[in-house]
Structure 1
């Protein structure tokens, strides 16, 4: 399969793992692509909760018991965030109409302390998912990922982590609806 421009994910698109992927880091995962260029790709797994709380990672936010997600297996000593709504933090990169990635972290802390930003509209990640130059294109040719270019930002924040993968595939319709119901281990049916 040769990739054409519509198959190449852009910032703000989602990568949905195909149901047969057995890599423990990406089984039934949905990855928000934050950057994809000639140097490689960067994304965050949206549906894999870590065992940590934000208050355990950032002393200045010890008043928040927010969940932290595993953004991917790369550099799990880094903290990343996305948020939903209007731009609330300087330096944020717009990924969709109302979806933002990163920005000035000290400003974010201050706005969370002053309750200028709702904790419900922000998600934190340790680590990230990364691909070197050409690696993601190769994985797309191997049909490891399904690209979704129409994202509903609200579902990213309000669907449960267990349901995001299935719900996005169902909403894509057609053949993807069938994949949404594919069992994790078909031998058990």
Structure 2
């Protein structure tokens, strides 16, 4: 089976072996940009205890905030599927877009014109310098998957990592059912 390479729109799935990495243990990262110089992505399955109006009081919206990664955790980022409403968006792949005009976004949210199934917000992002991600792939910290989710905006955060392991099969099936804390097994 041919190994996939990092590419904008693909998913990084944390290998079960990275149990001691609190930033990425049991995560799935959507790659939103990839070049020889760097890679950027957002963790899809780490909801936080914050909602949008907790962070930006002038937006009346209770959409969940996700931990995007360990870099620039004081900054808010978003991916969406409403480029017709948000100018300056960057296409990632398969109808998913990154960023856009924030003033327009605030107005759209306050007018209830964007649904939770259209957008996801992140504090911070996941980033890799030149050859860093390739190095992590070579040490089997990650495997790459096509983004075959019907809708990443409403997938069950608890189940998506497990489901990707089951889909990969082989030795991964055993890990899919292991508890988050393997000392509890």
Q: Which residue of 2 aligns with 1:152?
A: 149
Alignment of 1:132-171 (within 5 A): 132-154=129-151, 156-171=152-167
Q: When the two structures are superposed, what TM-score results if normalisation uses the length of structure 2? A: 0.88
Instruction: Tell me which of 14, 20, 29 is aligned to 1:31.
Output: 29
1:19 aligns with 2:16: yes
- For 1:143 and 1:152, locate their aligned partners in 2 and report how far apart those are by CA, in whole Å: 23
More helix, by proportion: 1
Q: Which residue of 2 aligns with 1:181?
A: 177
Query: Is the contact made by 1:81 and 1:122 (CA closer than 8 Å) also made in structure 2?
Result: yes
Cα 1:153/1:89, change in 2 over 3 Å: farther
Q: When the two structures are superposed, what TM-score results if normalisation uses the length of structure 1? A: 0.86
Cα 1:185/1:114, change in 2 over 3 Å: closer
Instruction: Tell me which of 41, 44, 65 is aligned to 1:43.
Output: 41
Q: Which residue of 2 aligns with 1:70?
A: 67
Alignment of 1:89-100 (within 5 A): 89-100=86-97
How many positions carry a matched residue from both structures? 183
Corresponding residue SS for 1:157: coil
Corresponding residue SS for 2:107: helix
CA deviations 1:32-76 (Å, max 9, x no partner) are: 101111211111011112222210111221x21111011011111
Corresponding residue SS for 1:56: helix
Query: Is the contact made by 2:9 and 2:94 (CA closer than 8 Å) also made in structure 1?
Result: no
Unaligned runs of 5+ in 1: none
- For 1:163 and 1:124, locate their aligned partners in 2 and report how far apart those are by CA, in whole Å: 19
- For 2:95 and 2:177, locate their aligned partners in 1 and report how far apart those are by CA, in whole Å: 29
- For 2:47 and 2:117, locate their aligned partners in 1 and report how far apart those are by CA, in whole Å: 15
Unaligned runs of 5+ in 2: none
* Aligned alpha-carbon RMSD (Å): 2.1
- For 1:58 and 1:28, locate their aligned partners in 2 and report how far apart those are by CA, in whole Å: 29
Q: Which residue of 1 aligns with 2:100?
A: 103
1:84 aligns with 2:81: yes
